[in-house]
């Protein structure tokens, strides 16, 4: 059987998808329930996506991007996102700071 790429197939199990949904929700003061209603899914789905336990379909990724008014690549990535302080202020990571020390 061919892999469907829906986040549940064996070939996609090794393809972790990182996201900034929790940060974007917090910036916009949205609950998981409110975001879920805006994109037409169950609020638990938003939690699964935020925690990296479920990869959204391409259609759902587009709906999330449209809801936030951002391109998909600003929300999802195959590589871990750099902290926003580095992205925005180009501040280098200090030794002993952060998870990769």
Reported pTM: 0.70
CB atoms within 10 A of CB 35: 22
> Using CA atoms, how far apart are residues 14 and 70, in angstroms rounded to an integer?
26
2 assigned to some structural domain: no
Q: Is residue 24 within 8 Å of 17, Cβ to Cβ? A: no
Share of residues in the chain with pLDDT > 90 (%): 63
Number of domains, the chain: 1
Q: Rounded mean pLDDT of 73-89?
A: 85
Question: Torsions phi, psi of 28, nearest 5?
Answer: -100, 5
Contacts of 3 (CB under 8 A, 6+ apart): 9, 10, 11, 12
10 assigned to some structural domain: no
**Which residues are paired to 77 by β-bridges?**
18
44 assigned to some structural domain: yes
């Amino acid at each position: 059987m061919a892999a469907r790429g829906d986040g549940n197939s064996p070939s996609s199990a090794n393809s972790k998808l990182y996201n900034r949904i929790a940060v974007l929700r917090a910036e916009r003061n949205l609950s998981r329930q409110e975001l879920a209603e805006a994109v037409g899914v169950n609020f638990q789905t938003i939690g699964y996506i935020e925690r990296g336990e479920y990869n959204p379909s391409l259609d759902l990724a587009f709906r999330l991007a449209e809801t936030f008014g951002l391109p998909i690549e600003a929300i999802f990535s195959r590589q871990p996102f750099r902290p926003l302080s580095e992205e925005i202020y180009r501040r280098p990571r200090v030794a002993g700071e952060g998870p990769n020390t």
